[in-house]
Amino acid sequence: MSLFQDKQIRKYWIFMICYAIFVMSVGSLFILIECNTIKKIYVTHDEKVVSSLLEQNVPKVVIENAMTCSETSKDGQHFLNRLGRGENSSSSFLLEFEKQTFVIFGIVASILILTYFISSFIFFWSRKKLYYKAEKIIDNYINGDFSEHLPQNSEGDIYRFFSSVERLSTMLQSKNNAEHKVKEFLKSTISNISHQLKTPLAALNIYQGIISEEPENEEVVRRFSEKIGISLNHMEQLIGAMLKITRLDIGNIAFEKKEYYISELISHSVSQLTERAICEKKQIRILGNIKQVINCDLEWTSEAIGNIIKNALDHTKQGDIIRISWECTPVIFRIFISDNGNGIAQEDIHHIFKRFYRSKHSLNVQGVGLGLPLAKSIIEGQGGLISVQSEVTKGTTFTISFLTEL
């Protein structure tokens, strides 16, 4: 029965059974003692009667017949009543016996009742103490303090209830932590966006002022209009990247993973960057078996690879080479994007996937600092991994890994 799964209740019932056995044993002992006492009283009485009759020279045969007689008569009853020894009379030895009986019974009953109440008090007091402790801990959970935990070191309904409350508190704690992280993330994001938008907005304000002062100077209008376009493009990239990252963070994007030829994925990734590479006199080389198949979301994975290639273009000089290669094993598909540019300093390599991070070595490079974080979110959102290896002056290699669909 579930009632006896509670350790304390089980102990209480064991105590009650033992207590009942003890009471029965004490009662039996008390009855035995009383029987022996009654026996002694009547033996003593018979001895006194026989001794008195013998002293009065009553024949032994008569005494024997009187002592063994099992019948009563009305004459005998009237005689005993007249002597004060009848059924309704109180003899001294019977009064003493009754008094002794009540004293012993009172002492034994008092001990038994006191033991029962003390044991019950201890049991219910321990339960009350447990409930009070649980109430205090649950109040702490409500107030956001999860430093203490409900006891779960025993069995029974109450401990199963505590276990359920603990699971609920764990969920509540996780929710609070998630909400705290979201608040910190929003606070940091808003601060970073404000900082990132401050410069182009200030520039726009200056450019607009210059144009408004010289509206008839076509060269000035043209030149600063181009600058306004650059600033607006920068802001558009920043807002677009933040919207994508936010959608990824809240899980609002459902990746549509399908099988594609790797050549299709890479071609889609570099299509908008080839012209830039040619203009900057840089090379993008593609090496690998174009018939190999990868399981991914084409659009999002292409954007992630494109961001990494764009980062390589930003940090290489004229004549440098960006290589894209891949390998496929029975369990994993890896894509390598490497360049022979300046490389990443050791103090920066652990921070390149942080949002808005800008190395002191690349402050003159245009960008919003969201390309690599976005690429990481996209790859990891599909169950993949992204890693980087770099050596200053020798170049950088990004590795994208996806588990092969078996």
Instruction: Give the model's confidence band at 86: pLDDT under 50 very low, under 70 low, under 90 confident, else very high.
Output: low
pLDDT tens, residue by residue, 213-240: 877 777 877 888 888 887 788 778 778 8
Exposed/middle/buried for 315, CB within 10 Å: 0-12, 13-18, 19+? buried
Closest CA to 207 of 230, 225, 194, 222: 225
**Where is average pLDDT lowest: 204-208, 269-273, 289-293, 318-322?**
204-208
pLDDT tens, residue by residue, 131-189: 888 888 888 888 877 777 777 766 667 777 777 888 888 888 888 888 888 788 778 77
Q: Cα(187)–Cα(180) distance, rounded to whole angstroms?
A: 10
Query: 158-249, what's its fold?
Result: Helix Hairpins (1.10.287)
Amino acid identity at 265: L
pLDDT at site 357? 75
Statement: residue 405 has pLDDT above 70: no
Question: Beta strand 332-339 with 321-328: parallel, antiparallel or unpaired?
Answer: antiparallel
Q: 257 or 194, which is more confident?
A: 257
**Where is average pLDDT lowest: 48-52, 81-85, 180-184, 327-331?**
81-85
**Integer angstrom CA distances of residue 177 from 87, 139, 181, 183:** 87, 18, 6, 10
pLDDT at site 44? 78
Statement: residue 303 has pLDDT above 80: yes
Statement: residue 406 has pLDDT above 60: no
pLDDT at site 363? 52
Q: Are 333 and 326 in contact (CB under 8 A)?
A: yes
What's the chain's average pLDDT?
Answer: 80
Q: 84 or 131, which is more confident?
A: 131
Q: 295 or 148, which is more confident?
A: 295
Query: 258-403, what's its fold?
Result: Heat Shock Protein 90 (3.30.565)
Give the pair of three-digit tokens for residue 42. Answer: 């009547």
pLDDT at site 120? 78
Instruction: Give the model's confidence band at 282: pLDDT under 50 very low, under 70 low, under 90 confident, else very high.
Output: very high
Closest CA to 382 of 324, 303, 270, 300: 300
**Where is average pLDDT lowest: 241-245, 291-295, 377-381?**
241-245
Q: Are 149 and 138 in contact (CB under 8 A)?
A: no
pLDDT average, residue stretch 35-59: 78
pLDDT tens, residue by residue, 361-393: 665 666 667 889 889 999 999 999 999 999 888
pLDDT at site 362? 64
Q: Max CA-CA distance within the chain? A: 166
Q: 210 or 42, which is more confident?
A: 210
What are the residue boundaries of the structural domains of the chain, listed by start?
2-68+92-142, 158-249, 258-403
Q: Cα(352)–Cα(354) distance, rounded to whole angstroms?
A: 6
pLDDT at site 264? 93
The most confident of the ranges 13-22, 263-272, 359-368 is: 263-272
Closest CA to 372 of 323, 299, 304: 304
Statement: residue 205 has pLDDT above 80: yes
**Where is average pLDDT lowest: 238-252, 326-340, 387-401?**
238-252
Q: Cα(203)–Cα(127) distance, rounded to whole angstroms?
A: 71
